[in-house]
Amino acid sequence: MSIGNSPEDERPFENEHVEADREEARPSIGRALQQARIAAGLTVDDVSSATRVRMNIVHAIEEDDFSACGGDVYARGHIRTLAKAVHLDPEPLLAQYGDEHGGRPAPTPAAPLFEAERIRPERRGPNWTAAMVAAIVAVIGFVGFTMFQGDDGSNGANVAEGSTPGDSASPTTKTKKPADPEPEPSDSAIAAAPQDKVTVRVAAADGRSWIAAKDHNGRMIFDGVLKQGDTKTFQDSSKVHLVLGDAGAIDLFVNGKKIEENFQPGSVERLTYTKGDPEAG
């Protein structure tokens, strides 16, 4: 009989070592975001401008320091926003954050909602008696008005010579002409872009790409990902600034003219266009 541990007693310790090795193999949240940003060819300044997350917070998250976020809810929001900006699926990172920081926030209890439902006053049904009385009064009034109009022999004499009775109808009875529906944006509309503005149309022709657009004051007009086949049109009084995450997948039209640039797939381009003949700044 041996006094030492049996081989079966050693197996749990071996499993613990395997799990520890798997944890070490998985990169941290900040490291994964940093690697994806570098692979996308973006700087911290680019990501901060595109997401409106301050640069110090971006640096802190990439170092796995979430104290500057202001709480778990804001930390999760920043992780999701930064992951989308660097073309990374945010769900595994959010699950990893939950494993490391105590899971998802507890849902708001529903008790106050049911309390509000109990004190809500009971809805009353329609008052059919009053509705019937109003309908009868309206019918009697209409019949009396019609009879009075039939007895008035001067009605036809009031019609001006050379006109039809329909022309003498009261202005209040004329139906208002419906407004013409606004036309959908089209290529012809882009070609006829106003000369006093700059109009930029971006089309994801050969794949998906992250796009950011700002007006002449530096205000963000659009920040998101265009899937293949999607288009976006931006217009400003003097200047439009663009950042194309994958310029090789984009067809670009400025003031009705297609920009024939040989953008390489995966390249990040920063462009500025003004009024008149398109010329990137």
145: in domain: no
4: in domain: no
Which of 74, 101, 128 delimits the end of a domain? 101
Which of 101, 119, 141 delimits the end of a domain? 101
Task: For residue 105, name the pLDDT band (cuts at 50, 70, 90).
Answer: low
Per the CB < 8 A criterion, the answer to whether 82 and 44 are in contact is no
Cα separation of 280 and 19, whole Å? Answer: 53
50: in domain: yes
- Residue 228 in this model has a pLDDT that exceeds 90: no
Taking residues 245-264, what's their average pLDDT?
Answer: 84
Question: What's at 125, amino acid-wise?
Answer: G
Q: How many domains does the chain have?
A: 2
- Residue 82 in this model has a pLDDT that exceeds 50: yes
168: in domain: no
Which of 43, 68, 101 delimits the end of a domain? 101
- Residue 14 in this model has a pLDDT that exceeds 60: no
Taking residues 89-111, what's their average pLDDT?
Answer: 74
Range of the domain at 34: 16-101
- Structure pTM? 0.34
262: in domain: yes
Per the CB < 8 A criterion, the answer to whether 228 and 260 are in contact is no
204: in domain: yes
Instruction: Flag the least confident range among 20-24, 42-46, 66-70, 198-202.
Output: 20-24
Cα separation of 60 and 78, whole Å? Answer: 11
201: in domain: yes
Q: Where is pLDDT greater, at 278 or 96?
A: 96
Instruction: Flag the least confident range among 19-33, 119-133, 168-182, 241-255.
Output: 168-182
For residue 98, how far is the Cα from the chain centroid?
26
217: in domain: yes
**Burial track 14-40 (b if 16+ CB lie within 10 A, e otherwise):** eeeeeeeeeeeeeeebbebbbebbeeb
CATH number of the domain encompassing residue 270: 2.60.40
- Residue 61 in this model has a pLDDT that exceeds 70: yes
CATH number of the domain encompassing residue 48: 1.10.260.40
Cα separation of 26 and 23, whole Å? Answer: 5
Q: Across-strand partners of 233? A: 201
- Residue 195 in this model has a pLDDT that exceeds 80: no
